[in-house]
Chains A and B, each alone.
Chain A
Amino acid sequence: MLSEPFAVGDSPLHRLDPRIRLVSATVYSCVVALCREFPALLSALALSMALVALARLRTAEVFKRLLVVNGLVVCIWAVIPFTFPGEALFRLGPFGAAREGVELAAQITLKSNAIVLAFMALVATMPLATVGHALHHLRVPDKIVHLFLMTYRYIFVLEQEYQRLVRAASIRGFQPGTNFHTYRTYAYLVGMLFVRAVERAERVQWAMRCRGFKRKFYSLHEFNAGAGSFVFLLLISAAVAGIAALELRLAAW
C-alpha cells in the first residue's frame, strides 16, 4: 500500500508554499545531478540532510527509504569499479578496482542520496494530491496532471484487485514454486489485472462523461506564498548557486 508518512506535519518546511518547494527541489536536483566535484557533492549532501532535519521527518522512515535507494547503489559499487578501464586502486582477487570507477561510484552515491533526501524534505512533505494541484498552478499541461492524479487514485483500486486475485488463488491452495504452473498462474493474474484495469478505465471515463467532463482540469486549490516561502526561495537559490559555483571553480582547475 502506498503510504505518505511525511505528508502531514507541522515543520517550517511543511508550511512553505508547495509550488516553491516543487520548483526548488527540481532545480536543486538538476544542479546536483550535473555536479562532479566532491566538495560540491558533499556540501549538497549536507544541505539535503539539513533540509530533512528542518522537516522533522521520522528518522526510521527516512532510513527505510534510503535503504531502497542504496540497494541500487550497492549494485553500482559491485559492478562499476571493476569494469572501468584504468589504474587499479586496489585488487579483489583477480579483479582490479579502477580509480575512475571508484570515483564515479562515489559520485553516484552522493548524488542519489542528496537528491532523494531533498525530495523527501521538500516534496514528500505534501500530500500527492497537492503535488498535482501545485503542478497545475505551475502550468504543467492538464493531461499530465490528470494522468498523475488518476494514477494516484487508482493505484489503490488496482492493488485491491490484485490482492483479490491473489487471495482467490491462495484459498484454492496455490503455492508459488519454480514450475510452469506458477508461471502460468502469474501470467493469468497479470493478464486479468490488465483486463480489469481496461474495464475500470472505461467505466471511470463513462462516469466522468456523465458528469459533463470536457477534458478540462479544474483545481479548487488556491496557493498563497507567504513571506516565509520567498525567504526560503532566496536561501535555497543562494545555496544552489553556491554549489554550482563550487563545482564550476573546481572544474576549471
Chain B
Amino acid sequence: MRHPNLLIEISREDPHNYAMTTATPIIDLKGVTFGYPGGPPVLRDLDFTLCAGERIGVIAPNGSGKTTLFHLIMGLVKPLAGQISIFGKALREEKEFSEVRRRIGLLFQDPDDQLFSPTVLEDVAFGPLNLGKTKAEAAAIARQTLAALGLNGFEDRITFKLSGGEKRLVSLATVLAMEPEVLLLDEPENGLDIRTRAKLSEILGKLDIAYILISHELDFLTNVTDLIYTMEDGRIRRDEELHVHQHLHAHPLGSRPHRHS
C-alpha cells in the first residue's frame, strides 16, 4: 500500500497543468449551482473537469453534495445555474443527456437500487439489451463481464439473495457490461470486508478508463486514484490546501513495533 504522504505530493501538482497536457475534457462543469427545493444550495458555483485517463478521488464529509454531483453529471437532476459539458458538448435537455448516459457508467451507492432484475444474468444483460444487442449477444457480454470480475457461476443467482459484497461486484458488472468510457463510483468500498475491498481495488487498477470515485476513506482513495479532491462549501477544492489528517486503523499484531512499507 502506498504511504498516505504520497497523496500530498500528487495533490500538490497543479491540476490545471495536468489537464492541459491531456486531450479534451470528458466531463466539464462550469459554475454549477444546485440546491434541493426549499433548502440551501448544495453545490455553489462549482467547477470541475475530468480528462481522459484521469482517476480522480473525491473525499468530503456527509451532505457535501458528492452524490448530487454524480446525479448532475448523469442529468438525473438539473442544475439551477451553470453549464455541464460532456464529451465536448454542452447538455441541457433530457434527450441530450440520455444519449450521453450510455457512455458513462454510474455505480450507485446502494446496490439494491442498481440490481432490479430477478437474476444476475438478466441484470447484467439489461444494459446491453437496451443498447440494441440481440439476446444472444447480450447474454454473451454479460457472461464475459461476470467472468472478468471473477463472478463465474453467478448467472442464475437471485439478486436479492446475494451478500453485500457480491451485490456490489455484480452492480459493477452491470455498469461495465455497457462498456462505458467513464465511470462514476459512489462509495464503492462502503460496507465491504477487507477481502472484497482488495478485490475491488484490483479490478479498478486493471481498468483503463477514466473514473471519479467518491469515498470517505483516504487509504482506499490513495490506492485506486491519482488525484484527490476535497469538497467544501459546495465547491471542489483542487489546490494544495488539502487538509492532512491523522487516522487510526487496526491491524493484526499492531501492538508490536512495526514499519509501514
Q: Is the CB of B135 within 8 A of A218?
A: yes
- Interface bits B158-173 vs A (CB < 8 Å: 1, else 0): 1110000000000000
- A200 contacts which chain B residues (CB < 8 A)? 112-113
Q: Is the CB of A220 within 8 A of B116?
A: no
**In the bound complex, what is the Cα–Cα distance between A200 and B112 (angstroms)?**
9
Determine how close the nearest CB of chain B comes to the CB of A131; give it in whole angstroms. Answer: 10
- B102 contacts which chain A residues (CB < 8 A)? 211-212
Q: A218-B126, A220-B135 are in contact. Are A206 and B76 (CB under 8 A)?
A: yes
- B145 contacts which chain A residues (CB < 8 A)? none
How many positions in chain A have a CB within 8 Å of any CB in the partner chain? 26
- Interface bits B137-175 vs A (CB < 8 Å: 1, else 0): 011000000000000000000111000000000000011
Q: A218-B129, A220-B138 are in contact. Are A211 and B178 (CB under 8 A)?
A: yes
Q: Is the CB of A203 within 8 A of B113?
A: yes
Q: Is the CB of A214 within 8 A of B116?
A: no
Q: Is the CB of B118 within 8 A of A128?
A: yes
Q: Is the CB of A149 within 8 A of B118?
A: yes
**In the bound complex, what is the Cα–Cα distance between A127 and B138 (angstroms)?**
23
Q: CB-nearest residue of chain A relative to B119?
A: A129
Determine how close the nearest CB of chain A comes to the CB of B184; give it in whole angstroms. Answer: 9
**In the bound complex, what is the Cα–Cα distance between A216 and B130 (angstroms)?**
8
| A101 contacts B by Cβ under 8 Å | no
- Interface bits B57-77 vs A (CB < 8 Å: 1, else 0): 000000000000001001010
**In the bound complex, what is the Cα–Cα distance between A206 and B104 (angstroms)?**
13
**In the bound complex, what is the Cα–Cα distance between A156 and B118 (angstroms)?**
12
Among candidates A128, A132, A209, A220, residue contacting B101 with C-beta atoms closer than 8 Å: A209
| B125 contacts A by Cβ under 8 Å | yes
Which residues, 192 to 213 on A, are CB-close (under 8 Å) to B? 200, 203-204, 206-213
Count of inter-chain pairs, beta carbons less than 8 A? 78
Q: Is the CB of B126 within 8 A of A211?
A: yes
Q: A203-B113, A207-B108, A218-B135 are in contact. Are A212 and B130 (CB under 8 A)?
A: yes
Interface residues on B, range: 35 or more
| A153 contacts B by Cβ under 8 Å | yes
Q: A203-B110, A209-B76 are in contact. Are A220 and B98 (CB under 8 A)?
A: no
Which residues, 129 to 161 on A, are CB-close (under 8 Å) to B? 129, 132, 149-150, 152-154, 156-157
Among candidates A152, A153, A208, A220, residue contacting B139 with C-beta atoms closer than 8 Å: A220
| B131 contacts A by Cβ under 8 Å | yes
Q: Is the CB of A207 within 8 A of B121?
A: no
| B190 contacts A by Cβ under 8 Å | no
| B117 contacts A by Cβ under 8 Å | yes
Determine how close the nearest CB of chain B comes to the CB of A127; give it in whole angstroms. Answer: 8
Q: Is the CB of A210 within 8 A of B101?
A: yes
Determine how close the nearest CB of chain B comes to the CB of A143; give it in whole angstroms. Answer: 15
| B83 contacts A by Cβ under 8 Å | no
- B114 contacts which chain A residues (CB < 8 A)? 207
Q: Is the CB of A204 within 8 A of B113?
A: yes
- Interface bits A211-228 vs B (CB < 8 Å: 1, else 0): 111101010100000000
- B113 contacts which chain A residues (CB < 8 A)? 200, 203-204, 206-207
Q: Is the CB of A149 within 8 A of B117?
A: yes
**In the bound complex, what is the Cα–Cα distance between A9 and B102 (angstroms)?**
40
- A211 contacts which chain B residues (CB < 8 A)? 102, 126-127, 130, 174-175, 178
Q: A129-B119, A150-B116, A220-B138 are in contact. Are A210 and B126 (CB under 8 A)?
A: no
**In the bound complex, what is the Cα–Cα distance between A132 and B119 (angstroms)?**
12
- A128 contacts which chain B residues (CB < 8 A)? 118
- B127 contacts which chain A residues (CB < 8 A)? 211-212
Determine how close the nearest CB of chain A comes to the CB of B222; give it in whole angstroms. Answer: 28
Among candidates B105, B130, B135, residue contacting A214 with C-beta atoms closer than 8 Å: B130
In the assembled complex, 6 residue pairs joining A and B whose CB atoms fall closer than 8 Å, in A order, are: A152-B118, A153-B117, A156-B160, A204-B113, A211-B174, A212-B98
| Shortest Cβ-Cβ A-B pairs, 5 listed | A129-B118, A212-B130, A211-B127, A203-B113, A218-B129
